[in-house]
Amino acid sequence: MALRAYLRRLLISNELKVIMTEVDCDLEIAAICRDEFSSFSGGNAVIFEAVKGTSVRISANLFGSKERLLKMLEVDEEGLVTLIRKMIRSGTDDAATNLTNACRIPSIECTEPEYKYQELTLKGIPALRSWPQEKDRYLTLALTHSVSPASGLCNLGLYRAAVVGDQEIALNFAPGSGADDHLQMAEARGESLPVALILGADPALFWAAAAPLPTGCSEYGFAEAITGRPVTLSSCLTQPLSVPANAEILIEGELRPGERVSEGPFGNHTGQYVTRVDCPLMRITAIRHRAQPILPITVVGPPPCENIHLAKFNELLLREMLIFDFPRITDLVMPEMTAFHGVAVIAIRQDSVADVADLIQRLRQPTYLGRSRLLVLVDDDINIHDLELSWWRAVNLVSPERVIKTDKGFIINATGINRNRLVTADQATTALIRNRHYQVSSEALENLKL
C-alpha cells in the first residue's frame, strides 16, 4: 500500500486533517503536530498542503493512535498477535531463528519507479527544525536502506538524518545497528557503502524498520508477512540498490570510508538535546520523487509523542518472543514514558530461586533486553499493567542484593514473594457482602444527629 493510498483511507474515515494555510518547517509545523497529538485520542493525521519555500507537502501524525497503526497494517489487534505467534512458533528453534526464517526475503517484483522526477534538491526538501536549539534540519522518518557487502542481505533502519550541507546528510545510526554493521564491513574493505533514504513508501515499513527484529531478519519480509502486501522494487539511478518503487522521495548516496561529521544538538525522547561528534556522512548522488511529493515526518521529543505507539507495538513483539523462549515469563509491559530505553516490568511464574537466577543471567545477554536501562522482575500474582502496583511490589522487596548491574543498566529482582504471608481479604466475608442487601434509609440520614 502506497503512502497516498493510506492517506486516502484516513480521509474517507474522517481521520485526516488538511491544512491549507502556509506553514513553516522551522519550528511551526512541529508545534502544530505536538498540539494535534496532545488532543483527544492522539488527534488526526495531518497533511500540510502549503509549506513555506517548497512545493513538497508534509504528512504528519501518521501513527498517532493504536487504531491508526493497525489500519496501517490492515489487521486488528487480535489478528496481529495471532500472526506474530504463528511466525515465532513456525519452527523448532528459538523465537529469533523461527521469526527470521518466517520472514525470508519475499518474492520481489521489479518495475519502473513511480519516483521518476528529478527536480528536487536537498534544500527543497522541507526537513524539520523541531526545537529552538537545533541548528540543523532533520528528516525524521527516513527509512535507510543498505546492503551487507558480505552477505548481500539488505537492512532497513529508521534513523534520524540531519541536513548538514547542500549535498550532505549526517546519518545517525547507532553502533551495532544493521547499517553500522554494513558500514564497518565496507570500511574494512576500503569501500564506500551505498545507501538510499526512502521517504514515504508502504507505511507498514515504518514499524518494520523500527521493530526489534533479530539480526538477519528481513524487514521487507516482516512487513509482507504481517500485511500480506507484496514488495515491489525498482533500481536506483546511481547506486547498486533496489528500493520500493512507490516511494514519494528517494535520496541516493554513499558513505565513504572514515568520513564522519558532528551532528546535533537534536531534541530527542529524553527531553534533552543530544549531539554526536562521529556521525557517518552521506554524500548525495541523486534525488528522485513523485509528482507533487508528500514527505512523511514525525516530531521527536519528550512524551507525549506519537512514536510511543511504535514502541508499544515493539513491546507486543518482544513479549511474544520472550514468552516463547522463556516459559517462566508470563507477561511484559514497557511503561510509555520509558519504553525507548527498554525499561520493562516482567511477570515471572514462581519457581525456585536458582531458576530465577538462571533467567536473570540469560536476560543480561545482549539479546532482546540486554541493552535495557532497567528491568523489574515480579511474581505473576499481580497485574503488571497496573504500574503503581508493580512499583509498590518492587519497592517493598528491593534490597542491595536484589539489584543486579548489567552493562547498560540494572535488574531488580522483586520475585519470590511468600504468598502465604500476603494480606488478603477473607473470601467468605467478601462473598457475604456481595450477596447481602444492606438497607439504607435516606430519612434516617436526614434525622441522624452527629
- What are the pLDDT digits (tens) for 42-72? 899 999 999 999 999 999 999 888 999 999 9
* Residue pair 328/355 in contact by the 8 Å Cβ criterion: yes
Torsion over CA of 19, 24, 25 and 26, rounded to 10 degrees?
-150
Give pLDDT, residue 35. 92
Cα 265 from Cα 257, distance rounded (Å): 24
- What local confidence, expressed as pLDDT, does residue 363 receive? 85
Q: Which of 42, 47, 68 shows the shortest CA–CA distance to 58? A: 47
Of 179-183, 262-266, 317-321, 358-362, the range with the lowest mean pLDDT is 358-362
pLDDT at 57: 97
pLDDT digits (tens, 9 = 90+) for 369-418: 878 889 999 999 999 999 999 999 999 999 999 999 888 889 999 998 88
Which of 416, 398, 423 has its CA nearest to residue 350? 416
For residue 141, which phi and psi values (nearest 5 degrees)?
-130, 50
pLDDT beyond 90 at 336: no
Cα-to-chain-centroid distance, residue 361: 26
What's the sign of the alpha-carbon dihedral 354, 358, 364, 368?
A: negative
The per-residue pLDDT for 383 is 95
pLDDT tier, 140 (very low <50, low <70, confident <90, very high otherwise): very high
Q: Indicate the average pLDDT of the chain.
A: 91
The whole-number average pLDDT for the span 202-227 is: 93
Q: Render 123-157 in DSSP notation, one character per residue.
A: GGS--BB-STT--SEEESS-EEEEE-TTT--EEEE
410-414 vs 374-379, strand pairing mode = parallel
Question: Does residue 194 register a pLDDT over 80?
Answer: yes
Q: What is the pLDDT of residue 447?
A: 67
Distance between CA atoms of residues 89 and 325, nearest Å? 10
- Quickly tell me which residue has 543498566 as its cell: 409
CB count in 10 Å sphere of residue 201: 27
> Is 197:251 a contact under the CB 8 Å cutoff?
yes
| Residue 128 pLDDT | 96
CB-based contacts of 178, cutoff 8 Å, min separation 6: 146, 155, 156, 157, 215
pLDDT number for residue 449: 62
3-state secondary structure of 251: strand
The band of 90, judged by pLDDT with boundaries at 50, 70 and 90, is: very high
pLDDT at 124: 94
User: Which residue in 109, 170, 113 sits closest to 142, CA to CA?
Assistant: 170
From 302, 100, 301, select the one nearest 212 (Cα to Cα). Answer: 100
Q: Is 2 exposed, middle or buried (0-12, 13-18, 19+ CB in 10 A)?
A: buried
- Residues 349-373, mean pLDDT to the nearest whole number: 82
Query: Positive or negative CA dihedral for 78, 82, 88, 89?
Result: positive
C-alpha separations of 442 from 435, 439, 445, 447, 448 in Å: 22, 10, 5, 9, 10
How many CA atoms does the CB half-sphere of 103 hold within 13 Å? 30
Q: Please tell me the distance from the alpha carbon of residue 319 to that of residue 172, in angstroms, as a whole number.
A: 28
Above 90 in pLDDT, residue 109? no
Report pTM. Answer: 0.90
List Cβ<8 Å contacts ≥24 apart for 173-181: 173/144, 173/280, 178/146, 178/215, 179/144, 179/146, 179/155, 181/148, 181/155, 181/215
Cβ–Cβ under 8 Å, residues 242 and 233: yes
Give exposure, 94-112, as e/b (b: 16+ Cβ within 10 Å).
ebbbbbbebbeebeeeeee
171 vs 282: CA distance, rounded Å: 6
Q: What does the alpha-carbon distance between residue 269 and residue 263 come to, in Å, rounded to a whole number?
A: 17
> Which regions of 290-388 does DSSP assign to beta strands (E)?
294-296, 329-333, 344-348, 374-379
Q: How many residues does the chain have?
A: 450
Q: How confident is the model at residue 107 (pLDDT cuts 50, 70, 90)?
A: low
Spatial CA neighbour of 130 closest among 33, 21, 58 = 33
CB 212 within 8 A of CB 368: yes
Q: Which residue has the cell 503512502?
A: 3
For 240, which DSSP code?
S
- What domains, with CATH codes, occur in the chain? 3-296 (2.30.110.10), 326-421 (3.40.1670.10)
**Which of 97-111, 277-291, 428-442 is modeled with the greatest confidence?**
277-291
